[in-house]
Amino acid sequence: MHDALYKAAKLPVSSSEQLLFDHYYNRLVSENEKYNLTAITDEKDVHIKHFIDSMLIKVFFDTYKIETKQKRLIDIGTGAGFPAIPIKILYPEIEVTGLDSLKKRIAFLEMLKEDLTLKDIQFIHGRAEDYGRDTLYRETYDFAVSRAVAELRMLLEYVMPFVKVGGYFVAYKSLKYAEELENAENALKQMKTRYIETIRIVLPENSGERELMIFQKMENIQKKYPRKAGMPKKNPL
């Protein structure tokens, strides 16, 4: 149990939720070799840098007084489930989708979903650029999140096609966020997205800081976006 860490981060995690995180930790470490999940394996570090870090979206929800009932959230490039799964544990009422282009990681997440008996969460295997054109997913999410996937100008083209008009994108970034923002002027324009602000949060135990960049989609985007898989990276907006 890592009660004190969660308290220090002002995260109201119950003892049953703590047990889920303990279980998640054990699975991450025991399956790491097979699925190539994380470079961080020290127990306390995983709690801070993966679990607590992922749940920092709470600061955004609280600051903007956002109602989370009957809302849908997608995590682009979720990897071993970050930030999607800790968000699901803290906000069970949110319907969550985790998308990743690595099939192995999706297999791990399916196993974890059973293990933790998580409900209303789905994992999809494929490229963001492909699913972003699929009408089952396009412009159907209230919130999108993404951590450690791509530079902002590429990331906006991956992510914003999924977000409803009026919905938010919370990009989990670090210190270089201002430089990335400067380079994203055209991407923001094409993605009909406005940058609102960056919320800076210090992690417990001197474990660094997190910058949450908040964006909002203002209008539908042109059908030609996202461009075909690989293009946003090869020729960023």
Ligand X SMILES: C[S@@+](CC[C@H](N)C(=O)[O-])C[C@H]1O[C@@H](n2cnc3c(N)ncnc32)[C@H](O)[C@@H]1O
User: Helix crossing, 15-30 with 103-115: angle to 10°?
Assistant: 140
Residue nearer to ligand X on the CB measure, 150 or 188: 150
Residue where the block lists tokens 């009957």: 70
Cβ proximity of 97 and 124 under 8 Å: yes
Q: How many CB atoms lie within 10 A of CB 182?
A: 10
Nearer to ligand X, 69 or 234 (CB): 234
Tell me which residue has its CB nearest to ligand X: 79
Burial class (CB in 10 A: 0-12, 13-18, 19+), 68: middle
Query: Smallest distance, Å, CB 79 to ligand X?
Result: 2
Q: Which residues pair with 215 in a beta bridge?
A: 169, 195
According to the binding rule CB under 6 A, does residue 160 interact with ligand X?
Answer: no
Which residue's CB is nearer to ligand X, number 71 or number 125?
A: 125
Nearer to ligand X, 147 or 210 (CB): 147
Q: Determine which residue in the list 27, 49, 113, 147 makes contact with ligand X, applying CB under 6 A.
A: 147
CA pair distance 51, 44, nearest whole angstrom:
10
Is residue 149 part of the contact set for ligand X (CB under 6 A)?
yes
For residue 101, state whether it binds ligand X (rule: CB under 6 A): yes
Dihedral over alpha carbons 67, 196, 99, 79 (to 10 degrees)? -110
Residue among 24, 143, 158, 215 that touches ligand X (CB under 6 A): 158
Question: Which residues, at least 6 apart from 114, have a Cβ–Cβ distance to it below 8 Å?
Answer: none
- Closest CB to ligand X among 20 and 159? 159
Q: What residues form the annotated binding site?
A: 77, 82, 128-129, 147
What Å distances lie between residue 223 and 76, 140, 144, CA to CA?
Answer: 20, 15, 19
Which one of 22-30, 58-66, 125-133, 174-182 is the stretch in contact with ligand X (CB under 6 A)?
125-133
Q: Does 102 bind ligand X (CB under 6 A)?
A: yes
Residue 127 touching ligand X (CB under 6 A): yes
Interface positions with ligand X (CB under 6 A): 77-80, 82, 99-102, 105, 127-129, 147-149, 158
